[in-house]
């Protein structure tokens, strides 16, 4: 007898779900391009933060960033093609190509209408805005390139990706603040789970290291003004934390319906069991220091996954060295997991890759999948001075070998969007 797919029961109605797995991972990051380079850098505690080189930042309070300095667009695109897409679009296409290669997935053999895109970006093509905006204000309308219109919006990035890989099915650009990469992943999970598509390319990208964008973040005082040792300025959960360093990058995950992946004998990194989104926007801060709504996201995700809190082994944390938000994240974990909070492990990769918003949150999910697949938890580097209010096991400074079965990823940010995704190791 055929076993029906796992289902959700809502009242008297059962909604059957297809199982969804991760079969490919790709990254463009300040510490490496491609899954293998990224993962080895994570395990070695490599930090990609250094002096800003994209522009002259000498007059800015913060003069540091996590830049992708070994990326040459012409290594992947013709000069003409590279000029017609944003830096973020370049990153997204390259990380997607790396993920497809990792998945050993030949899209030409697939129905293009059963393949989709769900990709996140908090800020969109910032280089395009700044470049053409400056041209307009300095030199007038006649000097603005007409290609600007096709490059300026968030969905233009998704369109360029779809064109690059001949994807004709479901597609959407997700903009949900810093959590955009994982909101896009949660959306992709729902699309595959519901049977709309067999394969979803998902993840996130942001490239905010340009004068105006960098300046706006400086003015917000959310970035650290510490300009000492670049490798030490971000210290998630540590008592010395004083704000983040902006980064740039892209993370891509290939999601497949389980049977589709099994038929082609794909390598499976993890299964997604469930996810949840809530919002805690606040009039004064755009996100709230209150923990209620983030707790609810955890509770819904665990319930959707049919998991008890004690069954969770590891959390890939959002923490980006924020005085307030790192503490809030810790408080939430303690309230959701109770005494088990002190038995599970939590770590943040942000001190290595900087805070690249949608790109960074997608990289969290890449790291969580690798942790499950390899049985190694990434370290939280620069954790040296414990904070009594951040008192969990943050896997300090060194990776830890441990066979883990279940990993959670949490992301949150401006606009109040909280997202929690549950991954499970597959045998």
- Give tens-digit pLDDT for 368-390: 999 999 999 999 999 999 999 99
Distances (CA, A) of 273 to 7, 239, 269, 406, 408: 11, 34, 13, 10, 10
Ranking 34-48, 119-133, 203-217, 298-312 by mean pLDDT, the lowest is 119-133
Give 116-157 pLDDT, tens digit per residue.
999 999 999 888 888 877 777 777 877 777 766 667 778 888
Tell me what pLDDT residue 286 has: 62
Give residue 11's pLDDT band: very low, low, confident or very high (50, 70, 90): very low
Among 179, 114, 121, 244, residue whose Cα is nearest residue 421: 179
Q: Which of 154, 320, 355, 373 is catalytic?
A: 355
Q: Which of 318, 320, 369, 390 is catalytic?
A: 318
Q: Does residue 238 have a pLDDT over 70?
A: yes
390 labelled catalytic: no
Q: Does residue 48 have a pLDDT over 90?
A: yes
Distance, in Å, from the CA atom of 334 to the CA atom of 341, rounded to the nearest integer, reads: 5
Tell me what pLDDT residue 4 has: 40
355 labelled catalytic: yes
Q: Does residue 424 have a pLDDT over 60?
A: yes
H or E element at residue 277: strand 270-279
Among 290, 313, 302, residue whose Cα is nearest residue 412: 290
pTM over 0.85: yes
- Ranges in the chain annotated CATH 3.40.47.10: 21-263, 274-424
- In this structure, are residues 249 and 71 in contact, taking their beta carbons and an 8 Å threshold? no
Tell me what pLDDT residue 127 has: 87
Classify domain 21-263 at the CATH class level: alpha beta
Q: Does residue 1 have a pLDDT over 60?
A: no
Give residue 355's pLDDT band: very low, low, confident or very high (50, 70, 90): very high
Q: Does residue 71 have a pLDDT over 80?
A: yes
What whole-number percentage of the chain has pLDDT above 90?
78
What whole-number percentage of the chain has pLDDT above 70?
94
221 labelled catalytic: no
Mean pLDDT of 322-334: 95
- In this structure, are residues 379 and 397 in contact, taking their beta carbons and an 8 Å threshold? yes
Q: Which of 47, 62, 154, 178 is catalytic?
A: 178
CATH node for 274-424: 3.40.47.10
Q: What is the mean pLDDT of the chain?
A: 91
Tell me what pLDDT residue 145 has: 74
Distance, in Å, from the CA atom of 182 to the CA atom of 176, rounded to the nearest integer, reads: 9
């Amino acid at each position: 007898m055929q076993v029906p797919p796992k289902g959700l029961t809502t009242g008297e109605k059962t909604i059957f779900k297809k199982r969804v797995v991760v079969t490919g991972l790709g990254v463009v990051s300040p510490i490496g391009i491609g899954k293998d380079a990224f993962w080895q850098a994570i395990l070695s505690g490599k930090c990609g933060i250094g002096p800003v080189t994209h522009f002259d930042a000498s007059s800015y309070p913060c003069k540091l960033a996590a830049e992708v300095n070994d990326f040459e667009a012409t290594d992947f695109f013709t000069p003409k093609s590279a000029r017609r897409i944003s830096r973020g679009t370049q990153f997204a296409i390259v990380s997607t190509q790396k993920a497809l290669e990792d998945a050993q997935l030949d899209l030409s053999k697939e129905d293009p209408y059963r393949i989709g895109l769900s990709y996140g970006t908090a800020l969109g093509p910032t280089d395009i805005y700044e470049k053409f905006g400056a041209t307009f204000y300095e030199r007038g309308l006649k000097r603005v390139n007409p290609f600007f219109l096709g490059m300026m919006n968030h969905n233009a990035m998704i369109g360029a990706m779809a064109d690059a890989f001949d994807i004709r099915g479901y597609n959407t650009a997700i903009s949900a603040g810093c959590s955009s990469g994982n909101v896009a992943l949660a959306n992709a999970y729902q699309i595959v789970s519901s049977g709309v598509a067999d394969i979803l390319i998902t993840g996130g990208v942001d490239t905010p290291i340009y004068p105006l964008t960098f300046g706006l973040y400086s003015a917000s005082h959310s970035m650290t003004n510490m300009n000492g040792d670049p490798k030490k300025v971000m210290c998630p959960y540590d008592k010395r934390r004083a704000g983040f360093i902006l980064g740039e990058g892209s993370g891509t995950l290939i999601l497949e319906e389980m049977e589709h992946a099994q038929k082609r004998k794909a390598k499976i990194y993890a299964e997604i069991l469930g996810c949840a989104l809530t919002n805690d926007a606040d009039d004064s801060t755009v996100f709230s220091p209150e923990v209620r709504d983030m707790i609810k996201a955890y509770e819904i995700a665990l319930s959707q996954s049919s998991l008890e809190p004690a069954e969770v082994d590891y959390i890939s944390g959002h923490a980006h060295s924020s005085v307030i938000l790192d503490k809030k994240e810790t408080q939430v974990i303690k309230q959701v997991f109770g005494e088990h909070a002190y038995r599970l492990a939590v770590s943040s990769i942000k001190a290595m890759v900087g805070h690249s918003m949608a790109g960074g949150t997608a990289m969290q999910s890449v790291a969580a999948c690798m942790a499950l697949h390899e049985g190694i938890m990434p370290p939280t580097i620069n954790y040296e001075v414990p904070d009594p209010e951040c008192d969990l096991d943050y896997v300090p400074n060194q990776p830890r070998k441990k066979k883990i079965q279940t990993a959670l990823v949490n992301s949150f940010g401006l606009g109040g969007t909280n997202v929690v995704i549950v991954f499970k190791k597959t045998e």
